[in-house]
Structure 1
């Protein structure tokens, strides 16, 4: 099957299409289609809104796209997968871009950056860049639902933020009594509540953060016998969550 290029367009812009189902491309979108993909007038491209819908469209003149159907009649619609998967990760010095991209490709629904006590001063916080990375990842991996990227949250405020009905997990090291993440997931029935996994910074969680998380009802889990970099731990944990949802739910 021939590859079809995708473009993620905010649903509010799609609603502003004219009576001919056309809407104006932003400069970076037009440049991407014309200069990077080298699409000519009349070329087909798939448009997604990041909310479960896909439309077939045609490039008009390099500056406009024309939807092939009415906005109320998308070519494809899918329900958001359940349970929702969330990754909360402390700001880290290197690897955050890769975490964002790979977590999106693996199907994470929410990505929450955390400011932790042991986050180093050089830790990256680039929400605009991450939003761009997520958009590109959504288009590349053919997701129809784009992940949410909330604003930076302090770890102190984070433990009380998700619903108490969610399954809330915090990755720890050197704690033999903490169950492996895979074993804990295997014991879970299919659930519709959200599942959160929190990953700490390079220096690990502080004692105060661990105590506050446990007091709020978070469950400690292990990601293996070795000490993983934060970025590696995030991807390993998300892989387990994604596989569990795919094959168990």
Structure 2
């Protein structure tokens, strides 16, 4: 008698590979001769409590200036790089076509546009004081630096954007390097941002200036009428300042990627 065959279940074994997370650190100031780095309280909490790393686990360490190193958690308070400071695991040069966002201070939502600008790839961030900035406008430079650090670690870029101190618009214009366009809504016959980017000669730095919730004053719009700044449109709709900053960042990065391909 021929017995009925019995199927044998197939068992699949899956190897779980833990993705290495990143830490942004000022390595020059913190590393000792033995390639060791003492962790601060925030870093210890992040590695041990949030990521649940153990002694012997590894993380990627970036310096925000184009370099990446592999680090090993030696104990609860210390990280050791596997290579010398001058021998990163990865490195990349800064883009020759830098992008900047100069945005007027707003009452809220600064955290949103700064985080998104960082993740998208903006290189320089300049908060400015415009005529119609509200007195309650946010000025939280320490919080903004924390957002940049978290965003660099999350989006895995090797170059961290620079956030400059808050300055009046006129002060920034006297020191601004490169070419700049002002996002406007009420001036007629203005090109779109994408058209301006294509038509203007490429500079080492390209800036977009975004106004406050109350819009630009007549004096500030006069900078466009006088030719000191180019006026550009971000579309037919009137956008919130934070939305306009993100929309502009997308256009800038999209244009740069097309230039580099």
Same fold, TM exceeding 0.5? yes
- Determine helix, strand or coil for the equivalent of 1:159: helix
Runs of 5+ consecutive residues of structure 2 not aligned to the other structure: 1-16
1:221 maps to 232
CA RMSD in angstroms, aligned pairs only: 1.5
Match of 1:109 among 110, 116, 123: 123
Runs of 5+ consecutive residues of structure 1 not aligned to the other structure: none
- Determine helix, strand or coil for the equivalent of 1:182: helix
Who wins on radius of gyration, i.e. which is larger? 2
The verdict on how the C-alpha distance between 1:215 and 1:176 changes in structure 2, with shifts beyond 3 A counting, is: closer
**Cα distance in structure 2, aligned partners of 1:216 and 1:111:** 23
- Give yes or no for contact 2:185–2:233 (8 Å, CA) kept in 1: yes
**TM-fit CA distance, 1:183:** 1.5
**Cα distance in structure 2, aligned partners of 1:141 and 1:156:** 33
**TM-fit CA distance, 1:241:** 0.3
1:159 equivalenced with 2:173 (yes/no) = yes
Greater Cα shift, 179-188 or 192-201: 179-188
2:248 maps to 237
- How many residues align? The count is 244
TM-score, scaled to structure 1: 0.94
**Cα distance in structure 2, aligned partners of 1:134 and 1:92:** 18
Match of 2:32 among 11, 14, 17: 17
**TM-fit CA distance, 1:156:** 2.1
- Give yes or no for contact 1:168–1:217 (8 Å, CA) kept in 2: no
2:191 maps to 179
The CA deviation string for residues 172-230 of structure 1, in whole angstroms up to 9 with x for no partner, is 002221100011223346x3520000000000111112224654721110000111000
1:79 maps to 93
